[in-house]
Amino acid sequence: MVIFMCGIVGYIGDRDCTNVLIDALEKLEYRGYDSAGIAVMGNGAINVAKCKGRLANLVEKMENEGRPSGNMGIGHTRWATHGEPSDINSHPHGNRRVTVVHNGIIENYRQIKEFLINEGYSFVSETDTETVAKLLDYHYSGNPVDTIIKVLSEIKGSYALGVIFRDFPNTIYAVRKDSPLIVGKGEHENFIASDVPAIMKYTRNYYLLEQNEIAVIKKESVTFYNTHKEKISKEIHVADWDVDAAEKGGYEHFMLKEIHEQPTAIKTTIMPRIQNSMPDFSAEGFDNKRLSSYKKIFIVACGTAMHAGLVGKYVIEKLARVPVIVDIASEFRYREPLIGEGDLMIVISQSGETADTKAALELAKNNNADTMAIVNVKGSSIARDADMVIYTHAGPEISVASTKAYMVQISVMYLIAFELALGNDTITKEQCAAYTKQLEEIPDIIEQSIALENKCQFVASKLLNAESLLYIGRGLDYALSMEGSLKLKEISYIHSESYAAGELKHGTISLITEGMPVIAVVTQDDLEEKTISNIKEVKSRGAMVILVCGKDVQVEDEVADYVIRLPKADKLLMPMVAAVPLQLIAYYAAVLKGNDVDKPRNLAKSVTVE
Ligand code: M6R
């Protein structure tokens, strides 16, 4: 089974379509980079160029073999989890009459393929997408909207489709279900894209396609239909992101740029939710009374977003004294969780499209729990499905490795914890105001953390020959270590594990050999002595210790080989301060190893399939 999680684009207007498609696909390459392709309408024919590998390969191929030209076309960048990425499996797919780009999975493609083969069709690729293209051709009645409606009634699964018909050289057709798709509205030009940054250079105005809505896109107009072929009117959205936010702006990589953007991202996220030094979620439609009505809180997410949830658990339980269960979405959805009425489910997602997180949210809703989504991408599926939404304002995060999204997710976790603790009377108004004020100061403190960049680069250079390493910490430092370890693995390809420092003696310490790096995080003064003892235990067994610690932590010379001293902040907020050096160490380890930092192997930014 070939599974796609890809980026699609489309353009119609007066510009050179190939240039626009390539430019837009570049912005979507974070969604997958196993192959790229475009189909452009020119001289009454659909001309396709596609090949395996990065978009750069396609550009090179077109330079050598010629490029399609015209004023209308569709494009695709692919991420495959099964099946070899190959020229033949690259999108677009179709025949001379109809051509398609697709993001998603057609679950019943085998049956459709069999049927079409019996009807005399032949197939060249292993993809499910080719079956959609050929099914469109099979049902083609001379009316594209009728044809698409007929096909929608027969396909099962998830899809965002961009379709062009040879007989309609001035129209792009688009439809989506369970995979994201927007329609960009320009002046004498229009677009489709999987994500807003792809078209932000050309227009900020866009429509969000809802389930099975069909868009008919011409140079001067966009019309929407439902599956009963009734015209529907849709609200236009305006992207409020900075255009530069989707460009590297002088940084070598998006990841480094995004690390540097963290102070601003936090400010932009928290300031609208603070009034008179108190958290205020009235714009989101809830208050501390509603929050304190919940008996139990579940926080469910994937990867880095789940790690932000772990910080949330520590802080909420500590301040508000409410039990919080944190779970990985792919586990939660299949373990028959004990969630129900009176519980609150918080899902966290940068993209708002992560399939497992989305499914976990559905499950909570079906069990009558209230749901809250903390999401970065406006109008994304998860944001639309949840009862309450808190948008983080990190701007577009392009690097596959999440940094600023994590930071803003944590900042929201803090605000929720303060608000909830106030509602539960577990902190006073004065304490709440004091915590909130300290959170407001965090962006400036993070600037000081970013200034540790050179030191982090130096420390990263000591990790390059390691086969494996450990991250250790206790409490909040443990939650943070998990994120540090993921970041390093993800982009440097150096294996690491994070461990609760006190748990080492129960097995893992046997891994320590001479020179093995151990990154220890010590920011919580009540746990400091304990963790330092654990560090001594690994040090005496030969570990090379890198200590990331608070300013005042007492460290004897022989305890650590390298020490990164963090700027001072309230200890509860230290994960935000300490996250930066861990991100920078991972970043520089990947750079020094010569890896593709923003597009690590085997990964994609939004995981829209299970
Ligand atoms: O878009 P989401 O926040 O739902 O994505 C969740 C994870 O896939 C994501 O955080 C992933 O772990 C990052 N690549 C880690 O840097």
Are 79 and 30 within 8 A, CB to CB?
no
Share of the chain above pLDDT 70, in %: 97
Q: From the CB of 288, is ligand 1 less than 6 Å away? A: no
Query: CB neighbours (10 Å) of residue 398?
Result: 23
**pLDDT recorded at residue 556:** 81
Cβ contacts of 71 within 8 Å, gap of 6 or more? 12, 13, 14, 15, 16, 17, 41, 219
Cβ contacts of 347 within 8 Å, gap of 6 or more? 299, 300, 301, 329, 357, 360, 361, 364, 371, 372, 373, 374, 382, 386
Residue among 607, 608, 609, 610 to mutate when testing ligand 1 (max atoms within 8 A of CB): 607
Q: What is the CA radius of gyration of the chain?
A: 25
Closest CA to 392 of 371, 370, 359, 416: 416
Q: From the CB of 523, is ligand 1 less than 6 Å away? A: no
**pLDDT recorded at residue 2:** 36
pLDDT confidence tier of residue 245, bands split at 50, 70 and 90:
low
Q: Is 6 a catalytic residue?
A: yes
Are 26 and 76 within 8 A, CB to CB?
no
Share of the chain above pLDDT 90, in %: 84
**pLDDT recorded at residue 322:** 96
Give yes or no for residue 12 having a pLDDT over 70.
yes
3-state secondary structure of 409: helix
CA of 113 to the centre of ligand 1 (A): 34
Per-residue pLDDT tens for 419-457? 999 999 999 999 999 999 999 999 999 999 999 999 999
Q: From the CB of 129, is ligand 1 less than 6 Å away? A: no
Closest CA to 148 of 172, 182, 179: 172
Distance in angstroms (rounded) separating the CA atoms of residues 71 and 151: 27
Cα dist. 485→489, 492, 497 in Å?
A: 6, 10, 6
Q: From the CB of 70, is ligand 1 less than 6 Å away? A: no
**pLDDT recorded at residue 349:** 97
Are 142 and 134 within 8 A, CB to CB?
no
CA of 368 to the centre of ligand 1 (A): 26
Span of 24-33, 80-89, 531-540 with lowest mean pLDDT: 80-89
Which DSSP symbol is given to 199? T
Per-residue pLDDT tens for 253-308? 999 999 999 999 999 999 999 999 999 999 999 988 899 999 999 999 999 999 99
Strand-pair category, 495-500 with 468-473:
parallel
Q: How far is CA 156 from the centre of its chain?
A: 25
**pLDDT recorded at residue 610:** 72
CA of 34 to the centre of ligand 1 (A): 19
Average pLDDT, the chain: 93
Q: Whose CA is nearest to atom 10 of ligand 1?
A: 304
CA of 440 to the centre of ligand 1 (A): 26
Q: From the CB of 380, is ligand 1 less than 6 Å away? A: no
Give 342-395 as a DSSP string.
TEEEEEEESSS--HHHHHHHHHHHHTT-EEEEEESSTT-HHHHHSSEEEE----
Q: From the CB of 583, is ligand 1 less than 6 Å away? A: no
| pTM confidence score | 0.76
Average pLDDT over residues 511-536: 94
Which residue among 6, 51, 456, 549 is the active-site one? 6
3-state secondary structure of 602: coil
Token pair, residue 17, equals 């379509």
Average pLDDT over residues 191-195: 94
**pLDDT recorded at residue 244:** 66
Distance in angstroms (rounded) separating the CA atoms of residues 114 and 482: 47
Per-residue pLDDT tens for 347-392? 999 999 999 999 999 999 999 999 999 999 888 899 999 999 999 9
Are 569 and 403 within 8 A, CB to CB?
no
Are 51 and 36 within 8 A, CB to CB?
yes
Q: How far is CA 381 from the centre of its chain?
A: 13
Helices (H), 367-511: 381-385, 404-423, 429-450, 453-461, 476-492
Phi/psi of residue 319, nearest 5 degrees: -85, -40
Q: From the CB of 543, is ligand 1 less than 6 Å away? A: no
CA of 381 to the centre of ligand 1 (A): 15
Give the residues across from 48 on adjacent strands: 39
Span of 20-29, 469-478, 589-598, 600-609 with lowest mean pLDDT: 600-609
Helices (H), 284-337: 288-292, 303-320, 329-332
**pLDDT recorded at residue 5:** 62
CA of 605 to the centre of ligand 1 (A): 7
Atom of ligand 1 at shortest range from CA of 303: 12
Average pLDDT over residues 521-533: 93
Phi/psi of residue 100, nearest 5 degrees: -135, 140
Q: Whose CA is nearest to atom 11 of ligand 1?
A: 303
Q: Is 455 a catalytic residue?
A: no
Give 236-252 as a DSSP string.
-EE--S-GGGGS-TT-S
**pLDDT recorded at residue 271:** 93
Closest CA to 432 of 275, 574, 571, 306: 275
Query: CB neighbours (10 Å) of residue 110?
Result: 12
